[in-house]
A and B are shown apart, each in its own frame.
Chain A
Amino acid sequence: MEKNTSCFFSNSSPNLVITCFVAFITIILVRFLYVIYRTGKPLNKRTPQQTLSTLIVLGSGHTAEMINLLLVLQKDRFTPRFYIAAATDNMSLQKARVFENSLADSGVKGISAEFMQIYRSREVGQSYVTSVWTTLVATAHALWLMIKIRPQVVLCNGPGTCIPLCVIAFIFKVVGIRWSSIFYVESIARVKRLSLSGLLLYKLQIADQFFVQWPQLQRKYPRAHYVGCLM
């Protein structure tokens, strides 16, 4: 009797594992398809929220454009704000700090902003061999930061640092950790061709809304919204 029981058990155990595995994969696949389906569709208006935690990804050279956008967004809706820039980029976070300070000075209440640095996947000119390791480190760091922040809104406009963060935001949507709306504004310097970050986010359809500042790009990438120059 015992022998039969143990045989039965050892036969069904791998089946059980396989069944669980298949069920798991199916759930993930369904979630994945659901997220793809909902990407780009406006949020459900029946449950509007008062405030949305916002992640702002900054990059050298294009910080001024992002600040221009933040100036016209209602600060009490997009709060708390988390600014991330690459660890080797000194000026972007400084500009963001100046911006937040000016908000506080002009009497805007309830300022809540945090500033963080993230490791870069690859420095300009770095060898591709060492880049594999640094990209893994950067991705792990991005994951760590995203778990801490779990933003509901992601704003980015070009730097490579936004890719791991946006991909992780997308994964969080699939896995159910946090639903977020991802907005990408291609830089004003991009007139005829998208940046690599922009191209990736556009093709992979990770961004909910993709904005371009020149009509030539909107003709080439029809799912993008042409919004004119921000500067």
Chain B
Amino acid sequence: MGEARDGVQVKRVVFVTVGTTCFDALVKVADSQEVKDELYRRGYTDLLIQMGRGSYLPTKSTGDDGSLAVDYFTFSSSIADHLRSASLVISHAGSGSIFETLQLGKPLIVVVNEDLMDNHQSELAEELAERKHLYCARPLTLHQTIASMDLNCLVPYSPGDATPVAKLINRFLGFPEES
């Protein structure tokens, strides 16, 4: 619960992002009473939705009546700031969003868009979920995932490294090895 410290409530923000896509199913379900209640029960205070190119508009709320404060916007020049100030991120399955969030060390639930034609995105989400770096859900199962998730079980993601590629490229081209 948002603990009072000298009367100041600690904000725990859930940030929902769909990137540059249109993913009304996620925005809708994030704005649903079921999910909002679940998030409130798990101790979150604010819900901020980045809705991208979608057409569904969430309902804003100040949260004064003992519920989640809800706000939304379409795009931002710096998602990174919103990610940094979030306690939980719920994202579409775009690799950019996923890795930006993982590199900031934020707990992440990835929601796969089932309306996409060639859904290779789900491969990445499922692989990372198998390695326990994030939770993977579908729009209809999001509230269950929130209810049952244990963020302490998540394994931190170690940043990748492009130097193996560079080494192979340099060797192929005949450039001398770096000392």
Note whether A and B form a binding pair: yes
The one of A45, A61, A71 in contact with B94, judged by C-beta atoms closer than 8 angstroms, is A61
**Given A209-B172, A230-B161, A231-B95, A190 and B166 contact (CB-CB distance below 8 Å):** no
Are A209 and B161 closer than 8 Å at their CB atoms? no
Are A231 and B169 closer than 8 Å at their CB atoms? no
Nearest to B19 among chain A residues (CB) is: A61
Nearest to A152 among chain B residues (CB) is: B173
Which residues of the partner chain B approach A61 to less than 8 Å between Cβ atoms? 94-96
Shortest CB-to-CB span from B116 to chain A, Å, is 11
In the assembled complex, the Cα of A119 lies from the Cα of B178 at a distance in Å of 38
In the assembled complex, the Cα of A96 lies from the Cα of B96 at a distance in Å of 15
Which residues of the partner chain A approach B20 to less than 8 Å between Cβ atoms? 60, 91
In the assembled complex, the Cα of A73 lies from the Cα of B163 at a distance in Å of 8
Are A189 and B168 closer than 8 Å at their CB atoms? no
Q: What are the interface flags for B70-91 relative to A under an 8 Å C-beta threshold, 1 for contact and 0 otherwise?
A: 0000000000000000000000
In the assembled complex, the Cα of A175 lies from the Cα of B33 at a distance in Å of 65
Which residues of the partner chain B approach A192 to less than 8 Å between Cβ atoms? 123
- Whether A188 is near chain B, meaning CB under 8 Å from some CB there, is yes
Which residues of the partner chain B approach A225 to less than 8 Å between Cβ atoms? 168
Q: What are the interface flags for B149-165 relative to A under an 8 Å C-beta threshold, 1 for contact and 0 otherwise?
A: 00000000001111111
Nearest to A211 among chain B residues (CB) is: B165
Which of A62-70, A134-142, A164-172 has 4 or more CB atoms under 8 Å from chain B? Answer: A62-70
The one of B124, B159, B169, B174 in contact with A73, judged by C-beta atoms closer than 8 angstroms, is B169
- Whether A77 is near chain B, meaning CB under 8 Å from some CB there, is yes
Secondary structure class of chain B's binding surface, majority of residues:
helix
Nearest to A190 among chain B residues (CB) is: B120
Shortest CB-to-CB span from B100 to chain A, Å, is 8
**Given A43-B174, A153-B173, A190 and B161 contact (CB-CB distance below 8 Å):** no
Which residues of the partner chain B approach A62 to less than 8 Å between Cβ atoms? 95
- Whether B171 is near chain A, meaning CB under 8 Å from some CB there, is yes
Which residues of the partner chain B approach A43 to less than 8 Å between Cβ atoms? 172-174
- Whether B99 is near chain A, meaning CB under 8 Å from some CB there, is yes
Which residues of the partner chain B approach A187 to less than 8 Å between Cβ atoms? 95
Nearest to B100 among chain A residues (CB) is: A64
Q: What are the interface flags for B18-38 relative to A under an 8 Å C-beta threshold, 1 for contact and 0 otherwise?
A: 001000000000000000000
In the assembled complex, the Cα of A230 lies from the Cα of B166 at a distance in Å of 11
Q: What are the interface flags for A43-70 relative to B under an 8 Å C-beta threshold, 1 for contact and 0 otherwise?
A: 1110011001000000011101000110
- Whether A229 is near chain B, meaning CB under 8 Å from some CB there, is yes
A-B contact pairs, 25 of them (CB 8 A): A42-B173, A43-B173, A48-B174, A48-B176, A61-B95, A68-B160, A68-B162, A69-B165, A72-B166, A77-B170, A181-B172, A187-B95, A188-B95, A188-B160, A189-B121, A190-B123, A190-B124, A191-B123, A191-B127, A208-B172, A211-B168, A214-B127, A225-B168, A227-B164, A231-B159
| 8 shortest interchain CB distances as A-B pairs | A229-B160, A189-B95, A191-B123, A231-B99, A227-B164, A72-B166, A45-B174, A48-B174
B interface vs A, CB < 8 Å? 20, 94-96, 99, 103, 120-121, 123-124, 126-127, 159-166, 168-176, 178
